[in-house]
Structure 1
């Protein structure tokens, strides 16, 4: 008679925010975090980059002289309400940027995420 362990015993590991941030600090590639899960980000193809660039330039031009400023895909955003850490193509911050623990790395107050 064959004995099987229940599938429940093989659940995936969930990570803490602290574990994610420590891993991301050392990583070469970018990862997103959502509710304990970590997802590797893939690179974007040429058409995506062209669209993203054009949109960034258009948004930046519209925001000139205003209290809002756009950030590109290297700026990580943290949405505290649902634990998300992500690198959007464009984010817009209005007013002074707020960062997690004043780290200048994880923006907390995006007005827009694209």
Structure 2
């Protein structure tokens, strides 16, 4: 993950031009263009399993899943590319030249990487929680079978919960759906954190 050189402030138009020309995922945060480094295979497998699991459950629900799509956050002109986006009903989006930005996500999911964990926990959360349509935000670990979940209670308050263990399930209330950690992490070799906690044989 890298920002534009010398922290030079750029405009939203500059960002759109860069996004149109780049094959790399770019985000726009407080006047900075943030280039997202390529995700690991493990990161991609976890995100794909989440997508597949939700896709089956959301059939005929009126909700759909998007990947690799910009989301217009609730602060200034900030734009992000979550790992998984779920919207319900008709999609609302802002279009600037050839770039479309989702306005009404209901659930956003990020798979945590070593280089982006703090960014996902702090910067993205500070922006995502101000999106009026958002109901839940999930942060999924790739070091151990763990999911952190923020669920909106009202216009100001969110409930935080943490679920850990391969036998656990996450309830996504706004979608009437569940995520099985056993399914998400099946057969995956995770990071040192989980291995350190494994019982000795």
The TM-score, its normalising length taken from structure 2, stands at: 0.47
Which stretch has the larger CA shift, 54-63 or 79-88? 79-88
Match of residue 51 from structure 1: 46
Distance 1:110 1:30 in 2: 19
For structure 1, list consecutive stretches of 5 or more residues without a partner in the other structure.
1-10
- Tell me which residue corresponds to 1:87: 81
Is the partner of 1:100 in helix, strand or coil? Answer: strand
Q: CA deviation at 1:84?
A: 2.3
Match of 2:121 in 1: none
Corresponding position of 1:33: 28
Aligned mates of 1:50, 1:28 — CA distance in 2: 21
Any gaps of 5 or more consecutive residues in structure 2? 1-5, 110-201
> What is the Cα deviation at residue 104 of structure 1?
6.8
Residues 13 and 51 of structure 1: CA distance in aligned 2, closer, same or farther (over 3 Å): same
Shift of 1:82: 4.1
Greater length-normalized contact order (CA 8 Å, ≥ 6 residues apart) = 1
Deviation at 1:101, TM superposition (A): 3.4
State how far apart, in whole Å, the 2-side matches of 1:67 and 1:81 are: 28
CA RMSD of aligned residues (A): 1.9
Contact kept, 8 Å, 1:77 with 1:108, in 2: the verdict is yes
Paired position in structure 1 for 2:58: 63
Compare CA radii of gyration and give the structure with the larger one: 1
SS in 1 for 2:20: helix
8 Å contact from structure 2 (residues 16, 99) kept in 1: no
Q: Could you tell me whether the CA contact under 8 Å between 1:29 and 1:41 is conserved in 2?
A: yes
Taking a change above 3 Å as real, the CA distance of residues 41 and 66 of structure 1, as seen in their structure-2 partners, is same
> Quick check: which one's strand share is greater?
2
